[in-house]
Amino acid sequence: AQSVSQHNHHVILSEAASLELGCNYSYGGTVNLFWYVQYPGQHLQLLLKYFSGDPLVKGIKGFEAEFIKSKFSFNLRKPSVQWSDTAEYFCAVNFYNAGNMLTFGGGTRLMVKP
Protein backbone atom coordinates (compact mmCIF):
# COMPACT_ATOMS: atom_id res chain seq x y z
CA ALA A 1 0.00 0.00 0.00
CA GLN A 2 1.13 3.54 -0.65
CA SER A 3 2.38 5.49 2.33
CA VAL A 4 3.48 8.98 3.30
CA SER A 5 6.34 9.63 5.70
CA GLN A 6 7.21 12.68 7.70
CA HIS A 7 10.50 12.00 9.38
CA ASN A 8 10.55 14.94 11.76
CA HIS A 9 8.00 14.36 14.49
CA HIS A 10 8.92 17.36 16.61
CA VAL A 11 10.83 20.46 15.56
CA ILE A 12 11.78 23.34 17.82
CA LEU A 13 13.07 26.55 16.28
CA SER A 14 13.71 30.09 17.36
CA GLU A 15 11.96 32.94 15.61
CA ALA A 16 13.59 33.96 12.33
CA ALA A 17 15.15 30.53 11.85
CA SER A 18 14.61 28.77 8.54
CA LEU A 19 12.31 25.79 8.36
CA GLU A 20 12.32 22.66 6.25
CA LEU A 21 9.95 19.78 6.95
CA GLY A 22 10.42 16.56 5.06
CA CYS A 23 7.73 14.57 3.29
CA ASN A 24 8.28 11.42 1.25
CA TYR A 25 5.82 9.08 -0.37
CA SER A 26 6.09 5.56 -1.67
CA TYR A 27 4.68 5.54 -5.18
CA GLY A 28 6.14 6.08 -8.63
CA GLY A 29 2.98 7.10 -10.40
CA THR A 30 1.07 10.35 -10.67
CA VAL A 31 0.30 12.15 -7.44
CA ASN A 32 -1.29 15.33 -6.14
CA LEU A 33 0.49 16.76 -3.11
CA PHE A 34 -0.68 18.90 -0.22
CA TRP A 35 0.52 20.46 2.99
CA TYR A 36 -2.03 21.19 5.71
CA VAL A 37 -1.52 23.06 8.97
CA GLN A 38 -3.44 22.58 12.19
CA TYR A 39 -3.05 25.44 14.66
CA PRO A 40 -3.78 24.61 18.32
CA GLY A 41 -7.50 24.08 18.79
CA GLN A 42 -8.30 24.65 15.14
CA HIS A 43 -9.09 22.48 12.14
CA LEU A 44 -6.88 21.55 9.22
CA GLN A 45 -6.17 24.38 6.81
CA LEU A 46 -4.64 23.99 3.36
CA LEU A 47 -1.22 25.66 3.12
CA LEU A 48 -0.38 24.76 -0.45
CA LYS A 49 -0.96 22.18 -3.14
CA TYR A 50 0.76 20.72 -6.18
CA PHE A 51 -1.15 19.23 -9.10
CA SER A 52 1.17 19.80 -12.06
CA GLY A 53 3.49 22.37 -13.62
CA ASP A 54 6.18 24.29 -11.75
CA PRO A 55 7.49 21.96 -9.04
CA LEU A 56 8.15 24.90 -6.73
CA VAL A 57 4.83 25.82 -5.19
CA LYS A 58 4.14 28.91 -3.15
CA GLY A 59 1.43 28.86 -0.52
CA ILE A 60 -0.04 31.09 2.10
CA LYS A 61 1.84 32.75 4.98
CA GLY A 62 5.22 32.63 3.21
CA PHE A 63 5.38 28.85 2.90
CA GLU A 64 6.64 27.04 -0.17
CA ALA A 65 7.24 23.43 -1.12
CA GLU A 66 9.26 21.73 -3.81
CA PHE A 67 8.18 18.56 -5.58
CA ILE A 68 11.18 16.43 -6.50
CA LYS A 69 9.80 13.52 -8.47
CA SER A 70 13.04 11.54 -8.53
CA LYS A 71 13.18 11.62 -4.74
CA PHE A 72 9.43 11.11 -4.17
CA SER A 73 9.58 14.17 -1.94
CA PHE A 74 7.55 17.30 -1.28
CA ASN A 75 9.38 19.21 1.44
CA LEU A 76 7.88 22.28 3.06
CA ARG A 77 10.03 25.36 3.61
CA LYS A 78 9.84 28.81 5.11
CA PRO A 79 12.84 31.14 5.18
CA SER A 80 12.01 32.80 8.50
CA VAL A 81 9.50 31.35 10.97
CA GLN A 82 7.40 33.30 13.43
CA TRP A 83 6.00 32.36 16.81
CA SER A 84 2.56 32.20 15.17
CA ASP A 85 3.76 29.31 12.98
CA THR A 86 3.63 27.02 16.01
CA ALA A 87 1.31 24.25 14.84
CA GLU A 88 1.09 20.69 13.56
CA TYR A 89 1.94 20.25 9.87
CA PHE A 90 0.61 17.38 7.79
CA CYS A 91 1.75 16.28 4.37
CA ALA A 92 -0.97 14.56 2.33
CA VAL A 93 -0.88 12.77 -0.97
CA ASN A 94 -3.56 11.77 -3.42
CA PHE A 95 -2.35 8.70 -5.26
CA TYR A 96 -3.96 8.49 -8.68
CA ASN A 97 -4.55 4.75 -8.42
CA ALA A 98 -6.37 5.14 -5.09
CA GLY A 99 -9.35 7.27 -6.02
CA ASN A 100 -9.53 10.76 -4.56
CA MET A 101 -8.83 9.98 -0.91
CA LEU A 102 -5.87 11.60 0.83
CA THR A 103 -3.16 9.60 2.54
CA PHE A 104 -1.59 11.59 5.37
CA GLY A 105 1.83 11.55 6.91
CA GLY A 106 2.13 11.26 10.66
CA GLY A 107 2.49 15.01 11.15
CA THR A 108 5.27 17.24 12.45
CA ARG A 109 4.75 19.34 15.54
CA LEU A 110 6.56 22.65 15.16
CA MET A 111 7.24 24.84 18.15
CA VAL A 112 8.67 28.29 17.53
CA LYS A 113 10.24 29.95 20.54
CA PRO A 114 9.78 33.71 20.75
Partner 1 sequence: GEEVAQTPKHLVRGEGQKAKLYCAPIKGHSYVFWYQQVLKNEFKFLISFQNENVFDETGMPKERFSAKCLPNSPCSLEIQATKLEDSAVYFCASSPILTGGNEQFFGPGTRLTVL
User: Which residues of this chain interact with partner 1, rule CB under 8 A?
Assistant: 32, 34, 36, 42-46, 49, 51, 88, 90, 92, 94, 99-104, 106-107
Given the complex with partner 1, which of 43 and 114 has the nearer CB atom? Answer: 43
On whether the CB atoms of residues 85 and 61 are closer than 8 A, the answer is yes
User: Min. distance of Cβ 37 from partner 1 in angstroms?
Assistant: 11
User: Min. distance of Cβ 55 from partner 1 in angstroms?
Assistant: 17
Torsion from C-alpha of 55, 56, 57, 63, nearest 10 degrees = 150
User: Min. distance of Cβ 99 from partner 1 in angstroms?
Assistant: 4
First to last CA, the chain: 41
